[in-house]
Amino acid sequence: MSTLIPTIKSDNKKLNDPKFNVLPSLPSWFDDILGKGLGTEFMSNFNTGMTLPAVNVIDGDHEFAIEVAVPGLKKSDFDINIDNRVLSIGVESKTESNEKTENYTRREFGYSTFKRTFTIPESVNTEAISADYNDGILKIHLPKREEAKKKPAKKIKIS
C-alpha cells in the first residue's frame, strides 16, 4: 500500500523545527497502526479487492513466457489485449451466493479486479501470441521472431 505524506508549505521556521514536530501526523499514525496490527495481507486487499498476482517472465531460446499466478478464476474472467506493443492482462471477477433457511438469510457477494501491463520487445512476433490457463497459472507465450531466436554455439577452427 502506498502512503501519501502530506506536506506543509510555509516559511514559518517553527514548522520546520524538529522540536515542534514530536507527534506523528494522523495519516502516518493510522497507517502505522493498521500496517503493524493487521499485516500486509489485509492491507493489500483493503482498497483494491485483489492483490497484484505474482508474475514470472521467462526468456527462453524461442519465446518469452509470462506466468501469472491467479488461482480460483475461470478463463472467461481474463481480458488479454495487445495494443501498440503493450500487452495488458486484466481480470474482473464477481461472485455472489445466497443461502436461505427458515431462521436466517445470508447473502454474500464479492468483486475483484486487477490489471497488469507489459511492454513487448520488437523481437516478439505479436501475431503468434497465445495463452493458456491451467491449475491456477495463466501462461502467455510470446514467440520470438526468427532473427531474434538464440542460435546454438558454434566452434570456430583456426586455420
Report the top-level CATH class of 55-147. Answer: mainly beta
Q: What is the pLDDT of residues 126-159, one digit of tens each?
A: 999 999 999 999 999 999 998 877 788 889 999 8
pTM of the model as a whole = 0.58
Q: What is the pLDDT of residues 69-105, one digit of tens each?
A: 988 888 999 999 999 899 999 998 887 888 888 877 8
Please tell me whether residue 153 adopts helix, strand or coil conformation.
coil
Q: Where do the CATH 2.60.40.790 domains begin and end in the chain? A: 55-147
